[in-house]
Amino acid sequence: MDKNTWVGFLLIAAIIVGFTMLSRPSKEELAERQRRNDSIAAVRLMEQEALRLSEEVNATLTNNEPTQQSQEEIDHQIAAVYGDLAPAAKGESQDVVLENSKLKLFIGTKGGRIARAELKEYKAYGDSVNNLCLFRGEEASLSFTLNTNNQRIVTTQNLYFEPIQSADSVLIMRMNTAQEDSYLDFVYTLRADDYRVFFSIQPHNMQNVLAQNVNELEMQWNQLIPQQERGRKFEERYAVLQYMMVGGEQERMSESKHDQQNESARVRWIGYKDQFFSTVMLAEDGFSSSIFESTPQNAASRYIKAYSTKTSVDFDITGKKNTNFTYFFVPNNYNLLKAYDKNNYNELFNLQELVLQGWRVIIWINQIFSFPVFDWLMRTGLHIGLVILLMTLIIKLIILPFVFASYKSSAKMRVLKPQMDEINAKYPPEKMQERQRETMALYQRAGVSPMSGCLPMLFQMPILMAMFWFFPTAIELRGQSFLWAEDLSAYDAIITWSHAIPLFGTHLSLFCLLMTAVNIIYTHITMQQQNTDPNMKFMKYMMYAMPLMFLFIFNDYAAGLSYYYFLSLLLTIVQTMIFRWSIDDKKLLAEMEANAKKKAANPSKRSGFMARLEKMQQEQQRMAREQAKAQAKRMR
């Protein structure tokens, strides 16, 4: 390296060292940080001890058992830890039910949190009796940290709330204090026929109970995601922690590995997502200083993911402004989630992004076509199998012109094969440039473009990919049976075995097998129509190997997706037969010869593509001649 490079490296190193030294906290800051950590640790220990004493008191009151300490001593120790929150340190843990036609929620007096959430219109796989349960008991926790006026740190998960049913749709969980007319309310509002729960934290005369400098509440939200579907591997792929920033930008955690992300900007909502269901928490004023963590669970566990969020929310200790949230316990139905954009916040929530829709172009196709058409067909009341069939027919009609153009291009190439063979025989591989020039001239005379068969396929690919993303995430398929498939949202195993085959699994899906068989037939028909070079037999075998690869790829996928591809390939074969019957090779050759004569009479009329291609060939030939001359000079 030269001198300037060394100087550059030294300057970069100096900047890095200088920045590190400047950003390093001072001794006073380190001491303050350590003091706070020690204080928190000590308070945690005292809180645990007070909790143990509280539980001992409750056990004594329940079972009339004697204790080693007097009630006065126990109350004194609890008061030392909790301060004015001591009355909430003792209580009885029970659940209060709040429900409507969509949800059944169990709200616990300990912690004042939602301890169990059920969706009444859905069942877990293999359970035809009980409601689908998003979480229960210790599978989920929500806790807020309170800083007391006696410099103590208390979490609401260890405090007891008094339930007050103010109305059928409203439940108040009240945390009482030692101060008269001073309390903290957790208010839950569940409207009729709605998947939303409105949650509000409302302080009342808490200025003398909590620290005066409190303007935020630290929040800890954890949840385990249980396996709800038949195919665990497939369900894990679509379970993800997802959140949206204030302003609309969305982020997704890793689906396959442990992931942690820190966000300093405000977050509008946080979604704990499964394949078909989500628990979403939205803050009216947003979450700040958030740390998200997603951890895949062991394959032997009944849980597939563990989600965790540490964040903060605005809090007005005077009670002039409440801290408001909206809970969503929802199925991942695109139209349902999109409808929640009509809200009172004058802001788009974009909850429909919880439904995985693919890449940018694919998302556009699904939004303007797949979801509206599928929803329209579902409203007809037809069986789901017929709905998929009709949707396949509609897609085939849309792409029919492109498929026909591609087939006609292949037919033109096929009828030109004798002339192509003559050119190849006339110009051996050593004269590749002359062979290409004659081939391009033949294409120009016949009015054939080499790209005319590829472009129609490129137009079809986005639609095929859109269906690849659409069917596995369509909750309408969940639990729907068709023919031998019990659930179109999962694989339709006809044979199972105990030991997994690498890259294949422990079962064989029938719709996937049928799709593979039809794909092989379609490949055979296609290969018959193409001019395959005898020297490229390996490529021919590769074409047949692709359908077999799909058998391994789609064996775990939703039966509805394999059923769609089976229908699509079957209809493509029918289309190909119709095209073959409608296009006569002799007439097509006569048409191309007539076109060649017209072009011979008007040589100036050439397609833009052919003109560019010819210009490129001429440029290549010129460069080749110059290189040959330069090489000849060097040899002299």
Nearest Cα residue to 103 out of 195, 32, 212: 195
Alpha helices (H) in 24-141, listed in sequence order? 27-63, 71-82
- How confident is the model at residue 61, as a pLDDT? 42
Evaluate the CA torsion angle 262, 267, 269, 275 in order and state its sign.
negative
Give the phi and the psi of residue 613 in degrees, each rounded to 5: -65, -40
Contact by Cβ (8 Å): 43, 152:
yes
Give the phi and the psi of residue 180 in degrees, each rounded to 5: -70, 135
User: pLDDT for 133-180, tens place per residue?
Assistant: 999 988 999 999 988 877 778 889 989 999 997 677 899 999 998 888
Per-residue pLDDT at 225 exceeds 90: yes
In this predicted model, which residue has the larger pLDDT, 165 or 272? 272
CA 457 vs. chain centroid, Å, equals: 27
In this predicted model, which residue has the larger pLDDT, 4 or 584? 584
Per-residue pLDDT at 469 exceeds 50: yes
Contact by Cβ (8 Å): 85, 209:
yes
Going by pLDDT thresholds of 50, 70 and 90, the confidence category of residue 70 is: low
Per-residue pLDDT at 7 exceeds 60: no
CA 69 vs. chain centroid, Å, equals: 55
Mean pLDDT in residue range 364-384: 89
Core vs surface per residue 149-183: b (16+ CB within 10 A) or e: beebbbbbbbbbbbbeeeeebebbbbbbbebeebb
Tokens coding 517: 């068989």
Give the phi and the psi of residue 133 in degrees, each rounded to 5: -110, 120
Per-residue pLDDT at 219 exceeds 80: yes
CB atoms within 10 A of CB 508: 18
How far is residue 50's CA from residue 578's CA, in Å, rounded to a whole number?
Answer: 82
Per-residue pLDDT at 589 exceeds 90: no
- How confident is the model at residue 250, as a pLDDT? 86
Task: Please give the full DSSP string across 534-583, using - where no structure is assigned.
Answer: GGGHHHHHHHHHHHHHHHHHHTTS-HHHHHHHHHHHHHHHHHHHHHHHH-
Paired sense of beta strands 196-204 and 114-119, if any:
unpaired
How far is residue 275's CA from residue 255's CA, in Å, rounded to a whole number?
Answer: 11
The CA dihedral of 235, 237, 239, 241, to the nearest 10 degrees, is 170
Per-residue pLDDT at 54 exceeds 60: no
- Report the mean per-residue pLDDT for the chain: 79
What's the half-sphere exposure (Cβ side, CA atoms, 13 Å) at 413?
18
Q: Greatest CA separation found in the chain?
A: 115
Percent of the chain with pLDDT over 90: 29
Mean pLDDT in residue range 573-596: 71
User: pLDDT for 302-347, tens place per residue?
Assistant: 999 999 999 999 998 888 899 999 999 999 998 899 888 866 556 7
How far is residue 446's CA from residue 409's CA, in Å, rounded to a whole number?
Answer: 11
- How confident is the model at residue 451, as a pLDDT? 59
Q: Model pTM?
A: 0.75
Q: Which strand (E) or helix (H) includes residue 85?
A: none
Helices (H) and strands (E) in the chain, counts: 16, 20
Evaluate the CA torsion angle 434, 436, 442, 444 in order and state its sign.
negative
In this predicted model, which residue has the larger pLDDT, 593 or 171? 171
Tokens coding 462: 């986005």
Residues contacting residue 400 through CB under 8 Å, at least 6 positions apart? 575
Mean pLDDT in residue range 251-268: 90
How far is residue 425's CA from residue 614's CA, in Å, rounded to a whole number?
Answer: 22
CB atoms within 10 A of CB 624: 11
Tokens coding 98: 């709040």
CA 481 vs. chain centroid, Å, equals: 25
